[in-house]
Structure 1
């Protein structure tokens, strides 16, 4: 068994009306929690690393642990660079053995985004690696990604962008948001399905990606705060909207915040209920189990990819 690219994953997902979950990883417990959840639901999965994760754990450590996960589970796993800021970051990931990379040029003007994305695509394709690009801007904060303003993706521009860059998938902005504090509790989130429909019509069969698609589980937030946390109330993306998107052209949905909240809540609970505990396996094990539960729920209720490996 070996890591796979997302190309075949997305083809099956598009035709089957489901999406593949892309979960951010930072350490062994998160990796194990995610792949155990995917294995339990017989689903392919994408493990993705931000540049912050690469700095924290190191690309060689992360790659070795993901290779172990492939061998241990036997499921289809792609290793993906999330929000690569430049060609240097892309090259680092490809040299480490990643099978997929994202170049995020969305903060540049349109022509510069096209030019830089095309440069990344040419390099990655020459090394057998697929490329995700981004058009439009998601507001919010997550790791090194910071944006104050939301700019929806223009469908006509999306067609031009894909044709000129040769990217393999495209992250678009239709109302999702990065980070835990996506919307105030009183706000009603609404995805722009009209934009998604137009892009799907103009780019038939082309895989679309949604970033910033965590639900911000209120129970996890409440547990964190119950055991000493200070996380503000927030609202994420409703499950029914994400499931509708994944039945359309969306083939990859990114979820990071929900894993962080679940793991933190589980660890805080262990410390709160058993303050004498100091064995890392006990509290990190609880965090790992919480992540697996989240992943299984997402696969079944958000992504629709249960038994997609059959």
Structure 2
């Protein structure tokens, strides 16, 4: 089916206390592996790219790859910009056909973050594309943080941020981090519950790789409706590829040595989908965004 907006996916997940899995899209094998996993689990998914991946591959190339893969499946697939770092990057991805946007102004002063996020919301909403914003600091897994740190999201400020920007989804900082966790994952569920109570919008968990399934499921009860995974997929791909090449040192055909790596990614995706996902929403409610309002 055509690419769809992430809005209906997340709103249904929010209502049902489940989540949509959002997988990093780095290459064709990874894209098709997670879509096959979604088909087998009958679950909607989001494929997403950071600005670094956009710079490397090109937004048009990424959008074309994901669109081709999505059109071959009956499960809903959205294409999302993760951690959009500027208005220009957002517009570039919208023009390429992205159907979901995150703008990350969390490194800015609050009012500057609000101004940037509001500007993105106005542009994206004009063409039917939902927007995720970030408040607080979701750092690397090796960073030292605690719930008294300035980087954690303040519930009252979060309410103000959501109201002033008009975002559809919020990525709060409550203990998760990007990359490999070097110590036990400690999520502040009381803080997450307070943010949820004040904002009343679907919330997004960044840095889900390595978070125990029990913690993922507990977070779903406090508004988490989108769960982002990248590191876990990259690790699965690397480990399977390395093992195959060790066992078959003379192998020189990528079609052969990518196969086990691809299956490992698919297995990792299935595990997350089994933990958090829902069945596909009725197709009639999952419509492609109207892109006519975006000029070249």
Q: Structure 1 residue 307 and structure 2 residue 279: aligned?
A: yes
Q: Could you say which residue in structure 2 is the equivalent of 1:262?
A: 236
1:274 to 241, 248, 271: 248
Query: In the alignment, what sits opposite 2:159?
Result: 159
Give the SS at the match of 1:140: coil
Q: Tell me the distance in 2 between the aligned counterparts of 1:126 and 1:171.
A: 22
Instruction: Tell me if structure 2 keeps the 8 A contact 1:26–1:56.
Output: no
Give me the TM-score of the superposition, normalised by structure 2.
0.90
* Aligned residue in 2 for 1:232: none
TM-score of the superposed pair, with normalisation by structure 1: 0.86
- 1:21 Cα shift? 0.4
Instruction: Give the aligned partner of residue 185 of structure 2.
Output: 189
Structure 1 distance, partners of 2:55, 2:216, is 31
1:56-86 deviation line (CA, Å, top 9, x unaligned) = 2222221111111211111101100011100
Measure, in 2, the Cα distance between the counterparts of 1:262 and 1:23. Answer: 13
- 2:47 is aligned with 1:27: no
Once the two structures are superposed, what CA deviation does each residue of 1:73-120 show, in whole Å capped at 9, x if it has no partner? 111011000111000000000000001111000011111111111111
Does 1:298 find its partner at 2:275? no
Of structures 1 and 2, the one scoring higher in RCO (CA 8 A, sep 6+) is: 2
> What are the Cα deviations for residues 217-237 of structure 1, in whole angstroms up to 9, with x where unaligned?
xxxxxxxxxxxxxxxxxxxx2
The count of aligned residue pairs is 278
Once residues 258 and 50 of structure 1 are traced to their aligned partners in structure 2, the CA distance between those partners, rounded to angstroms, is 16
Checking the alignment, whether the CA contact within 8 Å between 1:42 and 1:309 is kept in structure 2 is: no
| Stretches of 4+ aligned residues off by more than 4 angstroms | 146-150
Q: Is the 8 A contact 1:14 1:248 kept in 2?
A: no
Equivalent residue number for residue 198 of structure 2 = 202
In 2: Cα distance, 1:188 partner to 1:61 partner = 38
Q: Deviations over 1:21-60 (max 9, x none)?
A: 0000011001001101111100000000111111222222
More displaced, 155-164 or 245-254? 245-254
Taking the aligned partners of 2:278 and 2:230, their CA distance within structure 1 comes to 20
Flag structure 2 segments of 5+ consecutive residues without an equivalent: 283-296
Query: Does structure 2 conserve the Cα–Cα contact (< 8 Å) formed by 1:172 and 1:209?
Result: yes
* Unmatched 5+ stretches in structure 1: 216-236
